[in-house]
Structure 1
Amino acid sequence: MTPTIQTIQEKKLIGKHIIMSLVNNKTFELWKNFMPVRSQVKDTIGSDLYSMQVYDDNYFENFNPAAEFKKWAALEVIAFDTVPDGMETYILPGGKYAVFHYIGNPENGAEVFGYIFKEWLPSSGYELDNRPHFELLGSKYKNGDPKSEEEIWIPIK
């Protein structure tokens, strides 16, 4: 998997988040709560879903699978004029990202992210930047399908 390097501008997101860890994975619960109410988010930019992780500053320095982080399910919006009840806003900072096009089942996530962080990143000439990581789930994303496609966005500098 060879990424493309892309620079994005700041983005406005509306969605829901949950605090979890890799050991105590609550991703299913988050999306189960978000999907039935996502149509309440108005003034969206496109229909892509953001599955975003916001980590503490030293999360990757002393990696611990039990360390907690914020996991978001969100949509990009033009403005924060109308925020549905039970949802929150988040400003995703702009910056440079390594973007990996992934085809396959989410069950292979550990292998994919292992490659990104243990093989690609150390030999890339880039460093991990302290900004949110996210997966962009577009029209070709099919949860649980081995032909599902998504983009994995890793912040770099």
Structure 2
Amino acid sequence: MRNPRIKILKEKKLAGKYLKMSLVNNRTAELWRSVLPMIDQIENTINKDKIALQIYPDIYFNNYDPKLEFVKWAAVEVTDFKDIPTKLDTFVLEGGLYAIFDYKGSSADSRIFEYIYSSWLPKSDYKLDKRPHFEVLGEKYKNNDPDSQEEIWIPIQPK
């Protein structure tokens, strides 16, 4: 596994939907099925990328528990919140420092996250920051395909 790029992210405006879920009760497919038909109705998207965003409770990474719930968003980036379909919600993603991992492989394979949290992060000069984690699903993203490509954004701060 290669080292990530470190980048300061500027604030982003997102439009989409969210659900509360856990790894045991994973509702990601249900979430995306509810959002995808509405994305084409959004006229002010920045690009065609989709954003999968997770908001974890403060204790989430203290003791791994696959039953612990978090909030997951399925969204796209927009220029502003004007003319967003009424069935969609909006979210302002706060800017800050991120480690960006370019990942190629199936989204069902969790080894990249094991590497990030168990190997790279403890050995790095950074610790997790309490901001959302997200993945950018661009044109090379193919759900559960070994040739799929995405960016994994992990919020960090200096140790």
TM-score range, shorter chain: over 0.9
Structure 1 position 57, deviation (Å): 1.8
- Could you tell me which residue of structure 2 aligns to residue 47 of structure 1? 48
Matched, 1:153 2:157: no
- Does 57-66 or 9-18 show the bigger shift? 57-66
For residues 72 and 19 of structure 1, the distance between their equivalents in structure 2, rounded to whole angstroms, comes to 9
Two-structure CA RMSD over aligned residues (Å)? 0.9
- Could you tell me which residue of structure 2 aligns to residue 129 of structure 1? 129
Matched, 1:61 2:62: yes
* TM-score normalised according to structure 2 size: 0.95
Give the share of equivalent positions with the same residue, in percent: 52
Q: Secondary structure at the match of 1:127?
A: strand
- Does 23-32 or 79-88 show the bigger shift? 79-88
For residues 152 and 119 of structure 2, the distance between their equivalents in structure 1, rounded to whole angstroms, comes to 15
User: 1:48 is aligned with what amino acid?
Assistant: D
For residues 129 and 29 of structure 2, the distance between their equivalents in structure 1, rounded to whole angstroms, comes to 27
- How many pairs align? 156
For residues 92 and 128 of structure 1, the distance between their equivalents in structure 2, rounded to whole angstroms, comes to 16
Normalized per residue, the structure richer in helix is: 1
Structure 2 residue ranges without an equivalent (≥5): none
* TM-score normalised according to structure 1 size: 0.96
For residues 106 and 15 of structure 1, the distance between their equivalents in structure 2, rounded to whole angstroms, comes to 20
Structure 1 position 63, deviation (Å): 2.7
- Does 92-101 or 34-43 show the bigger shift? 34-43
User: 1:147 is aligned with what amino acid?
Assistant: D
User: 1:8 is aligned with what amino acid?
Assistant: L
Structure 1 position 42, deviation (Å): 2.1
For residues 101 and 36 of structure 1, the distance between their equivalents in structure 2, rounded to whole angstroms, comes to 27
Q: List 4+ stretches of structure 1 deviating above 3 A.
A: none
- Does 23-32 or 34-43 show the bigger shift? 34-43
Structure 1 position 64, deviation (Å): 1.5
Q: Deviations over 1:101-132 (max 9, x none)?
A: 00011121x21101100000000110000000
Q: Deviations over 1:66-105 (max 9, x none)?
A: 1111100000011111221211000000001000000011
For residues 84 and 57 of structure 2, the distance between their equivalents in structure 1, rounded to whole angstroms, comes to 26
